[in-house]
Amino acid sequence: MLPLAPPVASAGPGTLVAPPRAHTFGLRRITGREIALFLPGQRLQDPAGLDVVRLEATDDPGARDDDEVTIVAVDRGGRVFTNFGLLHATALSDAGTALGPFREPTDAAIDRDGRVVVTDTGNRRVVLLRHDGERLVPVRAVDGFESPVSVAADGAAGFLVCDRAAGRVWRLDFETGARTSFGLEVSFDEPVAVASTLRGERLGSGAPAHVVIADRGGRRLRSFRPDGTLRASREAASLDVSDASFDAIDLDYYGNVLAVDRAGNRVHKLRDDLYPLDTFGERGKREGEFLSPRGIAIHRRLGQVFVTEEDGGQYLWVGTDVRDVTLRPADRVMALAYTLTEASDVTLRILDENQDEVALLLKDQRQGAGPQRGSWDGTDAVGRSVAPGEYVLEVRARATYASRTSFEKRLLRAFRWARP
């Protein structure tokens, strides 16, 4: 159950935030040491992709445990890891004698009905399994791929598979193993990552159903409608950082894209139309830092984020940040602008030099990710003109997910008001 506590205001980075210790039992970041504790005799070898889901069979609408999710992850040593409940986990190193062992698997996907697909890259195939709540059961292997490297569930027993060497993205039917080409009048160049909303999935207000694919070896990101028509495109080189790359991707509740950048030890966030929202992270073990991130998975309903790294992974929550705040005099008002990195409930206040409230401009108003604009006309709460002098714009933003119970972004920006 997610804790309910007064949110703590933060001036630091907020696009992804650390859950409170009471929620994680101190295990926000895991390494090979913790894996050995939960899975005796197992050792991580080059962690890779993963996926997360709330299984339909265990989703009780009347229960308050929706944060207890199922994760499926792979490492290139040939193992598939999954959990059964909060403290039980297992590793599968051989998908049954009929299917044979995995060889350098790179990604895994699971849907709400427990269907699992693993890109078994070294064997040039994908392996289909079922998560029955107690174990992973082999179903079949589908051959005929050149280099399958990424997979995502798209709902209705369908999965999307990136075949990097073949330059193809396939839609795979889990029940039959049949596949069809994805994309209308488009071509792919070394597709490396795919993420998709699920058919019929409940999403945030205004969120589109779409499929996002990274190709050109991670140098380009494109958004498609479910029928394969192109919506938007973004080159990694267009971001405000050098040598950016989209190496693994997933979508949040509003259709925004989060992409890990392995070499840069960072995460890029873009709106569903691929408008850049934020880039953050550097190499390290502290909050907001990453160690060669390889995979990312988001439980959309509550904004739970899981990132695999070189020796394990970390657990985060989707938060929000306020960027690019500007104030300028304009036509008898003070014009203000800022960018939100996530849909947020926003409060705007004008404060005096003592940080007492002068005017309330917004109170917990829902605003979408991206640029926002507003203005202040120089009056107080009862409409009286204020004296010229020094004032402060206070911006408070809370994401709409679980993080809102413990995290609030607060930003202050001083400005001078002169009577028009």
**Closest CA relative to residue 183, chosen from 204, 161, 150, 205:** 161
Residue 365 — φ and ψ, nearest 5°?
-90, 130
Of the candidate ranges 1-15, 249-263, 375-389, the one whose mean pLDDT is the lowest: 1-15
Is 138 a residue whose pLDDT tops 70?
A: yes
Q: Of the residues 261, 293, 318, which one is the last residue of a structural domain? A: 318
Q: Is residue 395 part of a domain?
A: yes
DSSP output for 189-227: SS--EEEEPPTT----TTPPP-EEEEEGGGTEEEEE-TT
> In terms of residue numbers, what domain contains 205?
44-318
- Residues 264, 330 share a domain: no
Is 10 within the bounds of a domain?
no
Same domain, 75 and 181: yes
Q: Given this model, what pLDDT does residue 97 score? A: 43
Residue 86: CB atoms within 10 Å? 11
| Per-residue pLDDT reduced to its tens digit, 110-133 | 999 999 999 999 999 999 999 987
CA distance 111 to 159: 9
Same domain, 73 and 56: yes
Confidence of residue 408 (pLDDT cuts 50, 70, 90): very high
Q: Rounded to whole angstroms, how far apart are CA atoms 155 and 39?
A: 31
The DSSP result for 35-54, as a single string, is HHHHSTT----SEEEEEEE-
Q: Are residues 247 and 394 in the same domain?
A: no
Residue 88 pLDDT: 55
Give the mean pLDDT of 412-419. Answer: 92
CATH of the domain at 243: 2.120.10.30
Dihedral sign for Cα atoms in the order 261, 262, 264, 265: positive
Across-strand partners of 261? 266
Lowest mean pLDDT segment, chosen from 36-40, 194-198, 237-241: 36-40
Quick one: pLDDT at residue 21? Answer: 76
| Mean pLDDT value across residues 32-57 | 78
Task: Reply yes or no on whether the pLDDT at 213 is more than 60.
Answer: yes
CA neighbours closer than 13 Å in the CB half-sphere of residue 62: 0
Confidence of residue 251 (pLDDT cuts 50, 70, 90): very high
Domain identity same for 278 and 384: no
Region of poorest pLDDT, from 226-230, 301-305, 402-406: 402-406
Question: Does residue 331 sit in the same domain as residue 300?
Answer: no
Query: Where do runs of H (alpha helix) occur along 69-162?
Result: none
Residues 335, 309, single domain; the answer is no
Q: How confident is the model at residue 280 (pLDDT cuts 50, 70, 90)?
A: very high
Q: Taking a C-beta distance cutoff of 8 angstroms, is the pair 403, 303 a contact?
A: yes
Domain boundary pick from 318, 347, 363: 318
Any domain includes 22: no
Together in a domain, 290 and 367: no
Helix (H) or strand (E) holding 21: helix 21-24
Looking at the domain assignment, is residue 204 inside a domain? Answer: yes
At 329, the amino acid letter reads P
Q: What is the pLDDT of residue 200?
A: 79
DSSP sequence for 240-282: SSTT----EEEE-TTS-EEEEETTTTEEEEE-TT--EEEEE--
Side chain identity, residue 125: R
Q: Which residues are CB-contacts of 382 (< 8 A; sequence separation ≥ 6)?
A: none
Phi, psi of 40 (to 5 degrees): -55, 135
- C-alpha 109/C-alpha 105 separation (Å) is 12
Report the 10 Å Cβ neighbour count for 331: 7
Domain boundary among 275, 297, 318: 318
- Our measurement of the distance from residue 361's CA atom to the centroid of its chain's CA atoms, rounded to an integer in Å, reads 31
SS3 assignment, position 170 = strand
Q: How many domains does the chain contain in total?
A: 2
Range with lowest mean pLDDT among 84-88, 374-378, 414-418: 84-88
Residue 237 lies in a domain: yes
- pLDDT band with cut points at 50, 70 and 90 for residue 387: very high
Q: Are residues 103 and 125 in the same domain?
A: yes
E strand or H helix at 395, and its extent? strand 389-399
Average confidence (pLDDT) over 252-266:
97
- Taking Cα atoms as reference points, which of 160, 171, 170 lies closest to residue 196? 160
Q: Is 66 a domain residue?
A: yes
Phi then psi for residue 192, to 5 deg, are -120, -15
CATH code of the domain in which 363 resides: 2.60.40.4070
Give domain status of residue 289, yes or no.
yes
Is there a domain that residue 9 lies in?
no
Q: Based on the number of CB atoms within 10 Å of its own CB, is 186 exposed (0-12), middle (13-18) or buried (19 or more)?
A: middle
- Position 204 pLDDT exceeds 60: yes
Task: Tell me what the pLDDT averaged over the chain comes to.
Answer: 89
Instruction: Identify the pLDDT of residue 99.
Output: 83
Per-residue model confidence (pLDDT) at position 3 = 35
Q: Scanning the structure block, which residue is given the tokens 């996002």?
A: 212
| pLDDT tens-digit series, residues 70-113 | 999 999 989 898 886 544 566 666 554 468 889 999 999 999 99
CA distance 274 to 7: 30
pLDDT at 45: 84
Same domain, residue pair 264 and 236: yes
Q: Position 341: which residue type?
A: T
Residue 9 has pLDDT above 60, yes or no: no
Cβ–Cβ < 8 Å for 321, 314: no
Kindly tell me if the per-residue pLDDT of 272 is higher than 50: yes
Question: Are 295 and 71 contacting, i.e. CB atoms less than 8 angstroms apart?
Answer: no
Q: Are residues 308 and 328 in the same domain?
A: no
Tokens representing residue 199 in the block: 């058919």
- What pTM was computed for the model? 0.91
| Among 5-9, 98-102, 265-269, 378-382, the least confident range | 5-9
Same domain membership, residue 79 and residue 221: yes
**pLDDT tens per residue, range 149-183:** 999 999 777 999 999 999 999 999 999 999 999 99
Cα–chain center distance at 35: 23
